Amino acid sequence: MSIDFRSARAEDAPAIFRSDGRAFGFIWTEEQQQERIASLPFERFQLALDGAEVVAVAGAMPFDMTMPGGATVPACGVTWVGVQATHRRRGLLTELMGRVHADALSRGEPVSILHASEAVIYGRFGYGVTTLERAVRIDRARTRWRAERPAAGAVRYADGPDARRRQEALWDRGRRQRPGELSREPALWELIHAVRSRPASSASASFHLEHHDGYAVYRVSEKWEDGHPLSTLEVTELVALTPAAHAALWHTVLSVDLVGSVKFRALPLDDPLPTYLDNPRGVLTTGLTDGLWLLPLDVATAFAARTYGTEDRFVVEVAGRRWAIEGGPGGASVRAVRSRPDLVMDTATAGSLLLGAVRAGGLAAGGRLRATSPDVLRRADRFFLADVEPCSLTHF
């Protein structure tokens, strides 16, 4: 039987959940389905059908993504991508991704982003790793807060609807300070609050700390050994608009009683947390993996939306098309040209460069980018790097 493709409708929700569960190896409960339905824009989901059965899905969610320099661009957040085992190797994923990308372009979204379940899948669709996620563990017995480092600012516990509204407002201000971070629509916030309000596996429901200029969310997994407390505190999210708020929130997190270790899955590489402690090795990196993958759907719009580390001009060839990028700390312009390129790359490499976390020199060493001279490559390193390390705490 032939495969048909079409956009999803709200009534397709049960079939989408069923197909997703088969692709990823679990079964969605009725309660889980109802909790998530409001956050899923089904009109942006693309389906592959074998007869009446949904056998593959690729969805998208709308975001606003922060660029180096603080400007934002609309972004297509690709999600819920899965093909059932019975229908692999038939080109279904290629067709669905093409439909999602075409829809994003029609909506004026210059970039498409995703979190990859497997790192070997999305390079062939033009996506490149553009942020890194650094997981850390802090052993409370091995390090202390530096006595000479003040932790100014009042922090208190907060809960309830008013606290949630303050948290959402702080998030929207804070995410504009970090390249790669994303907006969150009300329906997504409702899902986030619901998930945080209940225990997860062996961990407690979430605790919420609030500062005038930030907040932190954490869970605790209780553990005792021979009468000694060895609980694990896991920070879910920490947002700080000022250095004082950042220090005050971390000081409070590290002061919670009966905790043996503190974990955080996505500490930015430029985060000052280790400098607060008398033993910076106490912030142990337990994992460093890819975060967001990015495909520049509209190269000119995407690269013109950011600022750059130095004043310079490069002709960049991306997948056969040439663009002159002229920019600096104050902004940039991008236009199509026919000049000889300084840098040659594919779209995945351009996606890696866009947010400024990946060095052009490293991409060249790996054979992903070609420069006309060593000097051009050195200039490109300084030009494309962002002054704030890109990172995203928003999974979708």
Which tokens in the block code for residue 361? 């020199």
Q: Of the ranges 41-45, 124-128, 152-156, 171-175, which one carries the lowest mean pLDDT score?
A: 152-156
Whose CA is closest to 365, among 349, 351, 354?
A: 349
Residue-level length of the chain: 396
User: pLDDT class for 152, splitting at 50, 70, 90?
Assistant: low
Mean pLDDT for the chain overall: 96
Torsion of CA 292, 295, 298, 299, to 10 degrees: 90
- Across the range 92-110, mean pLDDT stands at 98
Decide: 189 and 61 in contact? Cβ < 8 Å: no
Q: Is the confidence at residue 149, as pLDDT, over 80?
A: no
Assign 150 a pLDDT band (cuts: 50, 70, 90). confident
The 3-class secondary structure across the chain, one letter per residue, is: CCEEEEECCHHHHHHHHHHHHHHHCCCCCHHHHHHHHCCCCHHHCEEEEECCEEEEEEEEEEEEEECCCCCEEEEEEEEEEEECHHHCCCCHHHHHHHHHHHHHHHCCCCEEEEECCCCCCHHHHCCEECCEEEEEEEECCCCCECCCCCCCCCEEECCCHHHHHHHHHHHHHHHHHCCCCECCCHHHHHHHHHHHCCCECCECCCEEEEECCEEEEEEEECCEECCEECEEEEEEEEEECCHHHHHHHHHHHCCCCCEEEEEECCCCCCCCHHHHECCHHHEEEEEEEECEEEEECCHHHHHHCCCCCCCEEEEEEECCEEEEEEEECCEEEEEECCCCCCEEECHHHHHHHHCCCCCHHHHHHCCCEEECCHHHHHHHHHHHCCCCCCCCCCCC
pLDDT at 255 > cutoff 80:
yes
pLDDT at position 307 over 90? yes
pLDDT digits (tens, 9 = 90+) for 308-333: 999 999 999 999 999 999 999 999 99
Is residue 228's pLDDT more than 90? no
> Mind listing the pLDDT tens digit for each residue in 71-90?
999 999 999 999 999 999 99
- β-bridge partners, 81: none
53-66/231-240 β-pairing: unpaired
CATH code matching the domain that covers 298-384, chosen among 1.10.10.10, 3.90.1150.10, 3.30.1050.10, 1.10.150.120: 3.30.1050.10
| Cβ-Cβ contacts under 8 Å for 225 (sequence gap 6 or more) | none
Q: Which amino acid, 272?
A: P
Chain-centre distance for alpha carbon 219: 21
Least Cα distance to 259 among 201, 196, 203 occurs for 203
If you compute the radius of gyration of the chain from its CA atoms, what whole number of angstroms results? 23
* Structure tokens, 282: 């106490």
pLDDT tens digits, one per residue of 339-392: 999 999 999 999 999 999 999 999 999 999 999 999 999 999 999 999 999 999
Q: Is the dihedral of CA 138, 259, 246, 307 positive or negative?
A: positive
Q: Where are the domains of the chain?
A: 3-109, 133-289, 298-384
How would residue 227 be classed by pLDDT, with cut points 50, 70 and 90?
confident
**Sorting pLDDT into bands at 50, 70 and 90, what band is 153?**
confident
Cα distances from 212 to residues 29, 149, 156, in angstroms, run 39, 20, 10
Same fold, 3-109 and 133-289: yes
pLDDT band per the 50, 70, 90 thresholds, residue 6:
very high
The 10s digit of each residue's pLDDT in 10-43 is: 999 999 999 999 999 999 999 999 999 999 999 9
Cα–chain center distance at 98: 22
Closest-CA residue to 139 (of 275, 287, 280):
280
Using a 10 angstrom Cβ sphere, with 0-12 exposed, 13-18 middle and 19 or more buried, the burial of residue 26 is exposed
Q: Hey, what CATH topology would domain 3-109 get?
A: Aminopeptidase (3.40.630)
Which region holds residue 331: left if phi is over 0, alpha if psi is between -120 and 50, else beta?
left
Superfamily of domain 133-289: Gcn5-related N-acetyltransferase (GNAT) (3.40.630.30)
Task: Give me 126's structure tokens.
Answer: 């033009």
